[in-house]
Structure 1
């Protein structure tokens, strides 16, 4: 299971995470960056200054900081992703309280999903923060749940990016996911990690998104699968309703 390195360089980690947040969510103030990173405003200001120097960020006329030219090639519509994250976080926190495991929010970007929010559980052995990571959609629980919602033409294009064997396996697997409403990633992305994911219902929004609960495989139990999927589906429906009302 891939978690934070024991000898992580905090400043490098903070700078990389901040660059990712700018790319995914768009412009933010120094105080916003400080809050998201859990650092002081002066530290956030220094990090933003270095990102500007290396063209990962730029300062805008209103004194906020936005993604720089190196980060301009992103398929994510920033405002909808930031709003999605804001509305989803309370539901992710409630899921952690209910299920006792880490929860995630992800969006579909071409053949991958990008994690845009994580709420960690309190277990010592737990799945860590995935915010900013990209993983192949066909291997993740939320990604497979999203692929199962695609229209036939879109699905054909998505599967066309894979080799024949992978595409054939997905064509066999997706109808079951579509019928049951959830997908499972049993160590497909990382050894020792299992996750259950559901797609957030699409009501004409611009961002295809999903949520998941992830845990060490040692705590995964098939007899809890229905409870996890029901809780996830309820949270996904609530997020969709909040998006409609926003």
Structure 2
């Protein structure tokens, strides 16, 4: 099976030169995950398919540029603050995040659930902001800011799938669609029908499809021209989000999404 790096290289026009050292350094950065923020040299070498000597030299260069840090006590590496500085310059979702921030906090406090803000990027949902309630009802591993999610699971991602145009939806359904829980839907034909249902309904209640016992509720956000700008969602215990299978915070989410969208100028 081809690596993610090889897949990206295959999509480039013929004759475009590849800087292998840079490609390998990027692969090292991508090896870190929210659930694995610190990794040792041996594990990093294995994950990127490089010998330890090459991996060490690349890590030293990244460390010199404050993109990676090294813990002498644990002999592990982690991403460093230099990446946060680079991330602050990323324009994707910035306007939406700046406008929606206060509303996410309001929704989290009002519902007692974690609130999320999503945008579409290359067939996936990108989490551009997240706010946990001050007294959360559940402690789980949520999507972190900057993480990408396939569009088959979760209230926010499934809403985005529903409001994509046909070409974008085709791309989304051609990507890997993981089965995170027994209720996760992975069949593209079924997801296409579900997307049509969600679009007609105008919101999505995703129960047990990410974690058993948790439910997500998502609504779309449209800019002033009516174009899809992103999605707003909450997630928590099913008893908090949808007791008896009915969403209890739908009006609050719709109201917040409308207020956010009213402030977003057409792109």
Specify which of 115, 126, 148 is matched with residue 114 of structure 1.
Answer: 126
Q: Which has the larger radius of gyration?
A: 2
Q: Distance in 1 between matches of 2:137 and 2:250?
A: 22
Within the candidate set 133, 139, 142, 2:153 is matched to 139
Q: Distance in 1 between matches of 2:165 and 2:172?
A: 10
8 Å contact 1:80–1:206 — kept in the other structure? no
Structure (1 or 2) with the greater helix fraction: 1
- Inter-partner Cα distance in structure 1 for 2:85 and 2:213: 38
Which runs of 5 or more structure 1 residues have no equivalent in the other structure? 14-46, 68-76
In structure 2, the residue matched to 1:88 is: 100
Superposition deviation, residue 56 in structure 1: 7.5
Cα distance in 2 for residues equivalent to 1:48 and 1:95: 41
Q: Secondary structure of 2:146's partner?
A: coil
- What are the superposed Cα offsets for residues 98-149 of structure 1, whole Å, 9 maximum, x if unpaired? 2222111112222321212111113353255532322211212111111111
Contact 1:120 1:127 in 2 (8 A): no
Q: Which residue of 2 aligns with 1:243?
A: 264
TM-score of the pair, normalised by structure 1: 0.63
Tell me the TM-score normalised to structure 2 length: 0.58
Alignment of 1:211 with 2:232, yes or no, is yes
Aligned to 2:4: none
Q: Residue 179 of structure 1 corresponds to which residue in structure 2?
A: 200
* Partner residue, 1:79: 91
Spell out the pairing of 1:1-246 with structure 2 (5 A cutoff): 50-51=66-67, 65-66=85-86, 78-127=90-139, 130-161=144-175, 166-203=187-224, 208-222=229-243, 225-244=246-265
How far apart are the structure 2 equivalents of 1:227 and 1:79? 34
